[in-house]
Chains A and B, each alone.
Chain A
Amino acid sequence: KQEVTQIPAALSVPEGENLVLNCSFTDSAIYNLQWFRQDPGKGLTSLLLIQSSQREQTSGRLNASLDKSSGRSTLYIAASQPGDSATYLCAPGGGADGLTFGKGTHLIIQP
């Protein structure tokens, strides 16, 4: 059974800093991995999807890397802004299956 761990559980930093959020998973036989953002009381917004054959994906100030063999992914946020405050969730996927989620990193960017 896939288990997902996200570190740190919470993070509070002043705006402008570059951040790294970590995700590890126990079963490396994944098809892809998605990073999501969840705002309080809201649904999930897909940020990045990395296929198992890829090493990284970039979207704007976000960069996600994947080391499938070691069961690790990182989400890098450059030049953080107060609007980046949210919970970030990592979810490795088996393809056409449901996702397994970590507990997330609760991020606060101080103005």
Chain B
Amino acid sequence: SAVISQKPSRDICQRGTSLTIQCQVDSQVTMMFWYRQQPGQSLTLIATANQGSEATYESGFVIDKFPISRPNLTFSTLTVSNMSPEDSSIYLCSVYPSGAPYEQYFGPGTRLTVT
């Protein structure tokens, strides 16, 4: 398993500003994932972040809006840029702590409200 922490746990932000969310894992992992959960909806994958390479974004998500950093094997950040109320969501990071069978573990999430 893996222990994952996220900062901040929640924030209220003004539209037009940016917020950087941090994800810290207690072990080295190759791949980290970022998801968004909009109110009343299920989780949607934003991007996959591998250490040492550019993040891979899913359809509908772009780097200018959601830049991701992955400076080492235990840490990643997701920035939500130029926020609007539609960005109000829970943002979660997840990892595979080892290879097969690729069981995925999630952080506690960051609840973002944009006013």
Residues of B within 8 A of A45 (CB): 106
A42 touching B104 by the CB < 8 A rule? no
Residues of B within 8 A of A51 (CB): 101
Residues of B within 8 A of A31 (CB): 101-102
Interface string of A24-56 (1 = CB under 8 A from B): 000000011010100001111110010100000
Q: Does B66 contact A (CB under 8 A)?
A: no
User: Which of the candidate stretches B41-49, B67-75, B80-88 sits at the interface with the other chain?
Assistant: B41-49
Docked complex: B38-77 residues within 8 A CB-CB of A: 41-45, 48, 58
Contact partner, B102, options A32, A36, A41, A42, Cβ 8 Å = A32
Q: How far is the CA of A44 from the CA of B92 in the complex (A)?
A: 9
Q: Does B111 contact A (CB under 8 A)?
A: yes
B111 touching A43 by the CB < 8 A rule? no
Residues of A within 8 A of B44 (CB): 101
Seen from chain A, the residues whose Cβ lies within 8 Å of a Cβ on chain B are 31-32, 34, 36, 41-46, 49, 51, 89, 91, 93, 95-104
Ranked 4 nearest A-B pairs via Cβ: A98-B45, A44-B106, A43-B108, A101-B42
